[in-house]
Structure 1
C-alpha cells in the first residue's frame, strides 16, 4: 500500500477532531501543542493533561506555559485559538491517570487522537520508579484510549536509545530485554538497591530509562488491541530549527546542557572519542513527525515505528560540535574560560583530568572569593555522555516517504524534514 493511501493530509485529518496530549509541560510537549494549534487551524479542542506540582494547580501551571515565547506567533496571529486548549488535572503515576471520573466523562467521547509524550528523563532513576513512569504510565494512557469510542490514533513517544545495545536499529519493535513478570517478581523479592542484581535485570541496557522504554514498546505490541498505535523514537532532542522560533529551547537538559558547559569553558573533559557521533534532532522535526504519524487512514493492527534521528543522513561528531561551540562562544564572548576539550575512554583518566582541570581550579577560585568576603560557589561539571559511547546505526526507511506525504505543496511544511 502506498504512503498516500495509508495517511490523510495532516490538516484535513485534524479538522474537527479533538486531541488528548500528555507531557505538555515538557520541552517537546509545548512544541507539539503550539504546532497543532498553529498549523491545524480547524482542530476542535486539545485536552492537555497537567499534574499539580508543589501546591500549584494544573490551571496555574497551564497559564504559565502559554505565557512562554513558544506561543508568541499564535498569540499575535490567532489568539482566539488558545481557547481551544482545555487543561485536565492528571498524573501519569496515578490510577486512571488521576483524572476525576466526571472530568474524564467530559472529554472521553470527544477525543479521537491521543499523543503521549510524557515520560521521566532521569536516566538512572530507581528501576521501580522508571517502570512506573515509562511503562505503567504508558499502560494507563493506553487504557484511557480503550475507553474512547471515537479513538482513531494513538502515538507513543519512545526513544531512539531503547535498543542502543544493538549495532543496527531498524523501525521495528525488538523482543523485550526481560520478561516483565520476572522483573516485578525480582523487585518484590530483592528490592531495587542491589546494583549487581539491577545490572543483571537490565540485560545489557545501559540504564533504567532505556530499559523501561524498551519494555513499554513491547507492552504496546501485546496490549494495544484494536487501537491504531504508532511509535516515534527521537534521539537527542535539541533546539528548534525554525518552528516556533529558530533556536528555541527551554531547558538545560541533555544536549543543551552539554553544549553550554562545554562552549563556556566550564567542562573540559568528555568520556568518549572525538570521532563519536552525537545523534541530535531539532525539536520541531520531532513534533512534526509525531503530528503527522497520527494521521493514519487505515485501522491496521500493525504498529508503525518511526526513528527520528539525524546520524544516518547528516552525522556530526563531538569534534565538529566542539569546533562550532568554540567559535560561537569565543566570538560572542559568552565563555567563562577559554574553551578546550579532551577526550578519553578511560574512566580513571577522565576522573583525574576532571579533578585537575575543573575541580581544582574551582576550589582555588572559591578560596579567592572567600578572601574577598564573597559567597563561594563550587560548580563541578563532569560530563559522561552515555549516549555517545556507542555508535549504533538507526535505519529510517519510513521518513523519506513521510516527508513528501506530510508536506504542504504550497510550501508551508506541516512535516519539516
Structure 2
C-alpha cells in the first residue's frame, strides 16, 4: 500500500539510505514499545543521539498537544512522518481506542498536510487488523463499519481490533497527495524480555524482532 509519484517511477526509485539522506523524520509513539528500541544506537553510535529533537505531545490532545514553537519546527523541517503512536490493548474500551488510534491518526495526517516538505507518511498498523482468513493480502480491506456507526457502538461496547481497520481506512481516505505506506507488523518481541512462551509446538509463532519493525 504505497503511493509512488510518477516522477519516481520514471526516474527510478532511490535506495532507502538515499531517500533518507538529509531528511528530517518525525516519529510519533516515542514513549511506546517500538519507540524505545535505541539501546544499540546508544552503545555503538551515541553521537547520533545528538540529532534527535524531542517533541512533547499527547496523541489525544487538541493539535496533538504540540506547542507553537515545536509545530513551526515540524512545519519547516520534516520530510517523513512515521506514525506509530497507538494503544495496543485489544481489549481497550472502544471509545478510548477510537480516540487514540483513529482520531490520533486523523490529527497526525492533518499535521502532515500543513508540512511544507513532506515526502512520505508511514502508518504503523498491525497484521491482525484484517483477520478475514488464513492469508491477509497486501491491500486495503473495506472497514467493518463507518466511523459514525463505530462511535455509536462505542457508547456501549468494548473495542477489539475494529479500530485498527478503521485507522487504515481513514489513512486511505485522508492522505491526499502525500505518498503513503501502511505497515502491518506482527507481534514485536525483544530478545531477553520474553524467555518462555507456552503454546502448541505444531503452531507457527508469528513474531518479528522489534528492531526489524523500527
Scaled to the shorter chain, the TM-score interval is 0.7 to 0.9
Residues 6 and 125 of structure 1: CA distance in aligned 2, closer, same or farther (over 3 Å): farther
Distance 2:94 2:187 in 1: 22
- Say which SS state the counterpart of residue 113 (structure 1) adopts: strand
1:215 pairs with 2:166: yes
Please, which of 67, 73, 78 is the counterpart of residue 44 of structure 2? Answer: 73
Shift of 1:3: 8.4
Superimposed CA distance per residue, residues 205-234 of structure 1 (whole angstroms, 9 cap, x where no aligned partner): xx8342111100001111111111100000
Residues 261 and 172 of structure 1: CA distance in aligned 2, closer, same or farther (over 3 Å): closer
Residue matched to 1:282: 209
Residue matched to 1:378: none
Residue matched to 2:126: 159
Preserved CA contact (<8 Å) 2:42 2:49: no
Distance 1:87 1:70 in 2: 16
Residues 279 and 226 of structure 1: CA distance in aligned 2, closer, same or farther (over 3 Å): same
Please, which of 180, 186, 196 is the counterpart of residue 229 of structure 1? Answer: 180
Query: Which structure would you say has the larger RCO, counting Cα contacts within 8 Å and 6 or more residues apart?
Result: 2
Shift of 1:274: 4.6
Distance 2:178 2:197 in 1: 44
- Say which SS state the counterpart of residue 150 (structure 1) adopts: coil
Residue matched to 1:109: 76
- Say which SS state the counterpart of residue 128 (structure 2) adopts: helix
Preserved CA contact (<8 Å) 2:75 2:115: yes
Distance 1:6 1:163 in 2: 32
- Say which SS state the counterpart of residue 54 (structure 2) adopts: strand
Distance 2:42 2:86 in 1: 23
Residues 230 and 115 of structure 1: CA distance in aligned 2, closer, same or farther (over 3 Å): same
Preserved CA contact (<8 Å) 1:159 1:210: no
Preserved CA contact (<8 Å) 2:60 2:104: yes
Residue matched to 1:24: 30
- Say which SS state the counterpart of residue 53 (structure 2) adopts: strand
Bigger Rg, which one: 1
Equivalent pairs counted in the alignment come to 208
- TM-score by structure 2 length? 0.87
Distance 2:174 2:206 in 1: 31
Instruction: Please tell me the root mean square deviation across aligned C-alpha atoms, in Å.
Output: 2.4
Shift of 1:27: 2.6
- TM-score by structure 1 length? 0.46
Unaligned runs of 5+ in 2: 1-5
- Say which SS state the counterpart of residue 35 (structure 2) adopts: helix
Unaligned runs of 5+ in 1: 35-67, 193-197, 199-206, 240-246, 250-255, 263-269, 288-417
Preserved CA contact (<8 Å) 1:162 1:214: yes
Distance 2:53 2:105 in 1: 21
- Say which SS state the counterpart of residue 97 (structure 1) adopts: helix
Preserved CA contact (<8 Å) 1:70 1:248: no
Distance 1:5 1:282 in 2: 34
